[in-house]
Structure 1
Amino acid sequence: MPSDLTSGRDRDKDAHTSPSPKDPMTTPEPPTPVPAPRTDIYARIRRAAPVLVVLFCAGLLVFVAIIHPFSKPPVAIEVRTPLVASEGDPTAAYVWLHNGGGSDVLLSASTPAAATVVLQQWQTSQPSDGTQTVGHPVTVDRLDVPGFGDLRMQPGGDQLLLSGLVEPLRVGQSIAITLVFERSGTRTVQAEAQTYETIADRLLPPRLKVSNGN
């Protein structure tokens, strides 16, 4: 009998502690999540690729259109017929700068054969009395070399003035002259020493030939 009584008590206890399937206080199990439909991102990229390419090309064209006006064509300077007068101190040197590219500027020149070299530009002026114009060389800090053009130094024109010669120059002797350009950098040429008359014959057209320098 005691065992039956104990079993009955256990059944009553289980009845009080175990919730009924229909008990409204019972927490329902969460629903199984339904996976979201997968988006094919690669397909979207493929569809948008032509538009992206067009936009990139348009931006590149705009960039080039903005930058191009400020760019300069490359310089292509060729130094021709470098000559230096063998008479006197100071004396003059002449070079023919042929430029097959964009514009440049001759900034300075030097030579181990002289203490100083200055750039000189030939300038003309009209006297106040109305007589014939006269010309003379003027020391400048630069000589422009036009794009796709020439800077031709010659007697009665632009020149390099050498002062403080280390020793007198002899006809046929060559001296090194270094030219410094704004864009082309440094160029060193060998200038041949000749008389003014020979230099004029080589550099001047017949109607302008002179028998001496300046």
Structure 2
Amino acid sequence: MGAHGRGDRGWRGDPDPGARRRQRPVNAPVAANDAAAPAPPGEDDATWSARTRAALQAHDAKLARRFDQGEEVDRLVALRARAVDQALKEAWARCIPTEAPLALFAVGGYGRGELFPHSDIDLLVLADADSQLDQHDGLACFFAMLWDAGLAASHAVRSPDQCTDAAADQTVLTALIEWRALVADEAAQAALAAAISPQRVWPPRDFFVAKREELRARHARFGDT
């Protein structure tokens, strides 16, 4: 689950290149009319996917116009993330029973509340092994609906212990530490936070050194550009 989307990703002629580097607070207010309309009652899955795909395409076109008019990129990528948030929550509600002990998180760049055009939609489903098996069909439904709606998500389905094991790879941990709850109660959020805490995975100094070496290696690989 990589964090992507730092370059031009489909919006043209950035009037303010520095805006790309300014992180917008995830919880900053967003106007209600920037999100897609709720699903009509009784809508079947195929119709939902088609309607959502069209709505997101229209939303992207609107954001592109606002970009061309000089609006700050940090707000536009946050608005795009919010629109995708709503689509994900609707698809989840269609496929996963409310009482199922599963939780859905955004991670990586999407976890920061930033989503450039064509950027990865990085997701984590948190569930114990039994729940993963019990909800196999529901999860298959969820990811199929996202695909049909034009949302090609990069996802992992893990238990808290599996998150701890995966976080031994500092690239995975980099994505996980930027988690943001989409459909998750307080217990699930606490479980994920504990699973990737410094007490269980990388001590802060070791993680910093690993990221510094990764940065140096990347610069060397691309001629210090």
Range into which the TM-score falls when normalised by the shorter chain:
under 0.3
* Structure 2 length-normalised TM: 0.21
Kindly indicate which of the two structures has a greater share of residues assigned to helix. Answer: 2
**Larger relative contact order (CA 8 Å, sep ≥ 6):** 2
Kindly indicate which of the two structures has a greater share of residues assigned to strand. Answer: 1
* Structure 1 length-normalised TM: 0.21
Larger Cα Rg: Structure 1 or Structure 2?
Answer: 1
